[in-house]
Amino acid sequence: MELFAGGGGLAMAVHRAGFRPLLVNELVKYACDTLKANAATPRGEGERIPSPGERWPLVEGDVRRVEFDYLWDRVDLLAGGPPCQPFSLGGVAKGDEDKRNMFPEMFRAIRKIQPKVVMCENVRGLLRPSFKPYFDYIERELRLPFEERDGDTTWREHDEVLRTRLDEEPSDPKRRYEVVVTKVNAADYGVPQIRNRIIIVAFRSDLGVDIKRFEEAVSPRYSEAALIRSMLDGSYWERHLDVPGHVRERVMSRLPDTPPKNDGKLPWRTLRDAIKGLDGQRSLPTVPWDRLDRREYGLGGFTGHIGWPDARIYPGHTPNELDRPAKTVKAGVHGVPGGESVLLTDDLLPEPHEGSPYAYRHRYMTVRETARVMTFPDDWELAGPRGEQMRQLGNAVPVMLGELFARAIASALDEAESKP
């Protein structure tokens, strides 16, 4: 079951890992339109279990009005990214007092369905010193979700109750969960983007999941050191023979003379890798400078690969560089912040811009390029105008990152259930 599904990144990842969606919920209209355009169908009023192969049953609207009882003890994995505005560095930072805090709805769903596993993705802001006590409370509440907090109790009072209960032997191990919190940078998992998040996974205690084995399965496999080594030994440039010499010289001039120690990991993937195509994708065609006009030309047959005018680089907002992972894709309350979606190209400026440290032309990234650094497939159709499409991508979980965790969860369940 998927809550706060947004544009479908995590739902798609979990589905790819072999889980069959029983219910998907989302509130925002354009995100619902995206889900319906690709994989989902409105569930309607009937509460039923879909047959294998059916499209995802979508319940549109406020999660607080969704009933889950009919799924009691039928859900292997409850997944979702509760809205993170209360905790993000870019938000108003009201924490648990913010009405947009949807963690209570995740706990309500757990109490209604008793899933085997819970998976949540959220921002690193949850670990800020000012929020850390509340995050610790969330973690304890996830370990004991059936110890429900009543409306007259503060979270600090409830936290004391949870601390006491956790020191006691559980009367029913199905009502307690083992929690694993993993700090991730998506680039360390093969996503061509710097994206620091936390992923919380909770396994029901009665399953006897090997937590250590799970932690090993979700350990990082890519590194910046390996990317630097690949540039120094030339293997990176062998994949990109069309890079102009002056670009390669600029990139190489910033690298250390001595290669980093071999850590046995794969090189970080870069924005250039994403545009050229990962895992069998076709290369995206270059956006001509005379087509930054908001018009869909169908370049190379790709949708959403549309040039956008008036890109600017502001002080404090450095642009994306092709030979690094992309900067964090952000949703932005008033659109995407300047710089985060600006791309520095390989084309030199005819004349240097006064006061600018960059000798290269720049433009906005297209929606399709942005979808690629979120590891969305090219055939995933995003609904709404450009700003809403970028918002969906900025709020999403990179598909590749979500799929790795979902596959590790599936393996952990399979191993636990195969025990005599």
How far apart CA 59 and CA 255 sit, in angstroms, is 50
Indicate the SS3 state at residue 347: strand
Q: Which two tokens stand for residue 249?
A: 């010289």
How far apart CA 81 and CA 47 sit, in angstroms, is 23
Partner residues linked to 24 by β-bridges: 2, 58
Instruction: State how far Cα 168 lies from the chain centre.
Output: 36
How far apart CA 83 and CA 81 sit, in angstroms, is 6
Burial class (CB in 10 A: 0-12, 13-18, 19+), 172: exposed
Query: Are the CB atoms for 140 and 118 separated by under 8 Å?
Result: no
Type of residue at 336: V
List active site positions.
84
Type of residue at 180: V
CB count within 10 Å of CB 106 equals 23
Query: Are the CB atoms for 41 and 67 separated by under 8 Å?
Result: no
- Residue 408: closest CA among 4, 124, 13: 13
Query: Are the CB atoms for 144 and 216 separated by under 8 Å?
Result: no
Query: Are the CB atoms for 222 and 198 separated by under 8 Å?
Result: no
